[in-house]
């Protein structure tokens, strides 16, 4: 079973991930790719607290994610790979040829970002990074929860689907 979803979500592990996606996809593991969290026992404990016992969490740095991706992807149980920002996912896509589909799940408001969707706000640099990923063959779409409409990257960037 491949990793079901490669998701960019600045909240990392939270309700939409554990419940919204976790239950319908019957996720049994999460791979949280974040250099800071991978180096902090306290942060890891915080995220573990929100995960049900049947779901395991792997906390890895970008380098570790690249090294271990094949083993994650060959896990017989369904899983999700999460990054907290676009740049981290872009680095993974550049290094992992098999990673060719990305879900934009939540990039929230911050100074310098413009609203594209209700749950997607981007800087010009982030927009350019997404375009470069798409030009490199990565299929990118936005969808915060499974019941929501899948919105292709071009529509996201046009900022016309703000609901």
The nearer residue to another protein, 96 or 145, going by C-beta atoms, is 145
Cβ proximity to another protein, 46 vs 132, nearer residue? 46
Stretch that binds another protein, among 47-55, 58-66, 74-82, 123-131 (CB under 8 A): 47-55
Burial class (CB within 10 angstroms; exposed 0-12, middle 13-18, buried 19+) of 151: buried
| Structure tokens that stand for 152 in this block | 């292709």
Site string for another protein, 63-102 (x = CB under 8 A): ----------------------------------------
The residue ranges that bind another protein (CB under 8 A) are: 10-15, 17-19, 42, 46-47, 49-52, 106, 108-110, 118-119
């Amino acid at each position: 079973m491949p990793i079901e979803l490669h998701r960019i979500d600045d909240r990392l592990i939270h309700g939409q991930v554990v419940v919204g996606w976790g239950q319908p996809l019957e996720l049994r593991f999460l791979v949280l790719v974040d250099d800071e969290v991978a180096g902090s026992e306290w942060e890891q404990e915080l995220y573990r607290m929100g995960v049900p016992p049947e779901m395991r969490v792997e906390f890895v740095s970008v380098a570790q994610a690249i090294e271990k991706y094949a083993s994650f992807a060959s896990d017989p149980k369904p899983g999700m790979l999460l990054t907290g920002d676009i740049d981290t996912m872009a680095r993974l896509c550049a290094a992992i040829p098999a990673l060719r589909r990305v879900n934009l799940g939540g990039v929230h408001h911050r100074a310098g970002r413009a609203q594209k969707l209700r749950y997607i706000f981007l800087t010009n640099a982030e927009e350019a990074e997404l375009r470069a990923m798409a030009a490199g063959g990565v299929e990118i779409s936005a969808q915060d929860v499974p019941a929501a409409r899948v919105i292709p990257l071009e529509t996201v960037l046009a900022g016309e689907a703000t609901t």
